[in-house]
Amino acid sequence: MLEVCLLGCGGMAPLPDRHLSSLLIRENGKMILVDCGEGTQVSIKKAGWGFKSIDAICLTHYHADHVAGLPGFLLTLGNSGRTEPLTIFGPPPLAYVLSALTVIAPELPYEIHISELSSEKESSIEHGAFLIGSLPMVHAIPCLAYRFEIKRSGKFQKERAEEQKIPKEFWSILQKGNEIEYDGRMISPNMVMGPPRKGLKITYCTDSRPTEELIQFSVESDLLVCEGMYGENEMREKAIARQHMIFSEAAEIAARGNSQELWLTHFSPSLKDPETLLCNAQSIFLRTVIGKDLMKDRLSFDD
C-alpha cells in the first residue's frame, strides 16, 4: 500500500488558501518528500504524518517556489530529534544549491547524503522499498519528473516447495528474496515463487511542457500528479512561452499513458477557482481531479 498527500497545489507564490506544490508519499511508515517550497513544514504539520520518518527528499528543480522552504524544514527535522542520515535527490547543480541554502542551517544533527541525478537522460535508483525514476523535462533550468514504484513479487507456490522437499522453516526466507543452501544445493526464490505481480506507481511532474518521453515514463501510473498552471485552452501560447502546461495537456498525458487517475496541481496564482475549468481536462481524461491542499489517498495492490 502507498499513501499520498498533496501538501500544496500552488505555483509561483503561496496564497492564503493555497500552499506551494509539494507532495508526501508514505510506504510502511517511511516517507519521501517531493519539493519543498516556502511553508512546506506548515503543511506537513497540518497533514499529521510527522517529520522524523521522512528519509528522502526529491527536488524537481531549483526555482524558489520549490526549494525556498528547505532550510527551515531541515532545521525542523533536526529539532524533532532526527539523527539518521537524510538523502536528497535532484538535478545538477544539487550540491551547489544545498551549500547555498544551508548557510542559514549550518549545524544539523544528521548527515545529508547528496544524490545528483542526470539532467540529460532518464535514470533510476533504489531507495528503501522504492524504485525512484527520474526524467529530464522541458523548463528554463534543469528540471526532473519523478516516478515512484513499489515492485511486488509473485505469490509463493507451496506446491513447488513441497515437490522440492524444502523445509517450511526456509519458506519465509525465500519469500523475502533470499537464497538458501540446503541438502548440498543452492535454492533460489525463483524456484518457488510465481511471476511478479503488478506493483504500484506514482508519477509526479511539474514545471514543464508535455513530452512524448513523459507519456512513456508515466505509462500505467496508478496516480499521475501533473502540473496545470493554466486552465483555459486559450492560455496555451502563454504556457508554451513560460514552459508550463494547461489542463488539457496534462489530461492528454494521462489518457495516452493510461494512468488510473490524474491530480492537477501547481496552479497559477491568477487561477482563482480551478474547479470551474475542470471540464477542459475531463473532456479528455474523465478521472481528473483538481488538487487541493492536504488531499490524501491510499493506493492498494490488486488482489
Q: What CA–CA distance (Å, rounded) separates 191 from 195?
A: 11
Omega into 93 within 30° of 0, i.e. cis?
yes
Catalytic residue check, 65: yes
Task: Report which of 217, 303, 299, 229 is spatially closest to residue 257, judged by C-alpha positions.
Answer: 217
Cα-based angle 262, 265, 268 (whole degrees, multiple of 5): 145
The amino acid occupying position 29 is G
What length is written for the chain? 303
Q: What CA–CA distance (Å, rounded) separates 23 from 34?
A: 5
- For 192, the grid coordinates are 518457488
Stretch (H or E) spanning 64: helix 64-67
180 bridge partner residues: 187
Out of 17, 35, 55, 65, the active site residue is: 65
Measure the CA dihedral 6/145/262/243, to 10°: 100
87 bridge partner residues: 56, 113
Q: What CA–CA distance (Å, rounded) separates 58 from 71?
A: 15
Stretch (H or E) spanning 56: strand 54-58
3-class secondary structure, 173: helix
The amino acid occupying position 248 is S
DSSP secondary-structure letter at 78?
Answer: H
Three state DSSP letters for 3-29? EEEEEECECCCCECCECECEEEEEECC
What amino acid positions are annotated as catalytic residues? 65
